[in-house]
Amino acid sequence: MTQTIHADGRDIAVDKEGFLVSLDDWSEAVAHELARREGIELTPAHMEVILLLRRFYQTFQLSPAMRALVKFVGQELGKDKGNSMYLLTLFPGSPAKLGSKIAGLPKPENCL
Amino acid sequence: MRSTLLHLLRHAPQDDTHFATSLRVIGPEQGLLLIEDAVYALLPRTSAVNAMQLLPASIRLFALESDVLARGLAIDDLPQRVSLIDYPDMVELCTRYDKVLSW
Amino acid sequence: MEPDLKSLLVISRQPPTAIAAREALDLALAAAAFGVPVSLLFMDAGVLQLLPGQESTLIEQKPVASNLQALPMFGVEDLFVCQHSLAERGLQPGRFIINCKAVDSAEIATLLEHHDQVVAL
């Protein structure tokens, strides 16, 4: 079952959990709308991680599980940000899943 | 920690590299169980059966009797050191070893 | 499950044609995501997964190379490759898409013995 959200002056399909149906539909404006639906107002700190998530996906063809996300963020943005506390502050609950959703990635397979 | 290991082979050595591989890496005190097409390793005068004969005596060899008979292999031709077992034996064998590596 | 239970996954089939190759990788990533320590051993045709430059999309298969490169990121860092399997195929360690330690048959026997669980796919 798909629904549509409205962002960037377009109608965009998302699945019943709110993940983008097509990865190509993503833009920063779409990210803001996806985040708003999750009750998050995106700041530059969020966007930094969102863009990193997209880079992770492009490099490894995988949505990261939590452990991998922490490691990748630590490697790319430094130890201050590469920890689960920091990521949980930005994306409460399940940073890997929530972050992937806002970044327009498929739902992480290895994340319950 | 040392632990015991049973190598479980299912494919014919003539068609699949895993037979040769498991023989290459099998350690002393480990076991080798042939089921399904892997029992073709017992065809007389083949390099597979010869290779098994050369394994250290501490390595125990087993074959599932129904798979051997189903493929028309003559029991009399089998190497003496190969123990023929049935399904309940196979279950027992798998629990007797700490772990089973199914190739 | 004991926290220090360590598993060895033996990858012995070749992509992109063998579905088992993809399954082995999925298993490794899933185990790692749940914090189960996993080592990987590439042997037999499985060593061919390590060759760079495989354009498997040309035959409509998803490439495994990017996924393999993600292994260290998922905490899978003990990667081994069978020397004998390499030699059989005229390959040498060093030019692979991920760093693997080359091991001989005796070392593989030790690996099989010292892991709590061993799975071959």
What is the structure's pLDDT at A29?
94
- Residue B82 burial by CB count (10 A; 0-12/13-18/19+): exposed, middle or buried? buried
Whether residue A110 is predicted with pLDDT greater than 60 in this model: the reply is no
What is the structure's pLDDT at C57?
76
Q: CA dist B36 to A32, B32, C93, Å?
A: 58, 13, 35
CA A22 to chain centre: 14
Mean of pLDDT values over C111-116: 90
The closest CB to that of B24, out of C84, C117, C119, belongs to C84
Rg for chain C, CA atoms, rounded: 14
Q: Going from the N-terminus, what domains does chain A have, and what CATH number goes with each? A: 2-102 (3.30.1420.10)
What is the structure's pLDDT at B64?
97
Q: For the ranges B60-74, C44-58, C72-86, which has the lowest average pLDDT?
A: C44-58
The closest CB to that of A61, out of C35, C66, C73, belongs to C66
Whether residue A78 is predicted with pLDDT greater than 70 in this model: the reply is yes
- Residue C108 CA to residue C43 CA, distance in Å, equals 10
Model pTM greater than 0.90? Answer: no
Q: What is the number of structural domains in chain B?
A: 1
Catalytic residue status for A111? yes
Chain B residues with CB-CB distance to C118 below 8 A:
5, 99, 101
Is the Cβ pair B25, C12 closer than 8 Å? no
What is the structure's pLDDT at A39?
94
CATH number, domain at B39?
3.40.1260.10
- Residue A88 CA to residue A90 CA, distance in Å, equals 5
Rounded to a whole number of angstroms, the distance from the CA of C52 to the nearest CA of chain B is 23
Decide if C86 contacts C51 (C-beta within 8 A). no
Cis peptide bond prior to C16, omega within 30° of 0: yes
- Residue B60 CA to residue A60 CA, distance in Å, equals 44
What is the structure's pLDDT at A109?
64
Mean of pLDDT values over A74-78: 94
Q: Coil, helix or strand for B103?
A: coil
Mean of pLDDT values over C83-110: 92
Q: Which two tokens stand for residue B63?
A: 């074959």
Q: Which residue has the tokens 């996906």?
A: A57
Whether residue C96 is predicted with pLDDT greater than 50 in this model: the reply is yes
- Residue A63 CA to residue A103 CA, distance in Å, equals 10
What is the structure's pLDDT at A82?
93
- Residue B19 CA to residue C98 CA, distance in Å, equals 27
Whether residue A17 is predicted with pLDDT greater than 60 in this model: the reply is yes
Expressed in angstroms, the distance from the first to the final Cα of chain C is 22
Q: For the ranges B59-63, B98-102, C59-63, which has the lowest average pLDDT?
A: C59-63
Q: Domain range spanning residue B93?
A: 5-102
Residue C52: how many CA atoms within 13 Å on its side-chain side?
Answer: 9
Chain B residues with CB-CB distance to C103 below 8 A:
none
Task: Give phi and psi for A3, each to the nearest 5.
Answer: -125, 175
pLDDT tens, C31-44?
888 888 899 999 99
What is the structure's pLDDT at A50?
96
Percent of chain C surpassing pLDDT 70 = 93
Q: Going from the N-terminus, what domains does chain C have, and what CATH number goes with each? A: 7-120 (3.40.1260.10)
Confidence of residue A1 (pLDDT cuts 50, 70, 90): low
What is the structure's pLDDT at B37?
95
User: Does C29 lie at the interface with A, CB-CB under 8 angstroms?
Assistant: yes
Mean of pLDDT values over A35-61: 94
Whether residue C50 is predicted with pLDDT greater than 60 in this model: the reply is yes
Confidence of residue C1 (pLDDT cuts 50, 70, 90): very low
Task: Choose, out of C38, C68, C74, the residue to mutate when testing the contact with A (most A CBs < 10 Å).
Answer: C74
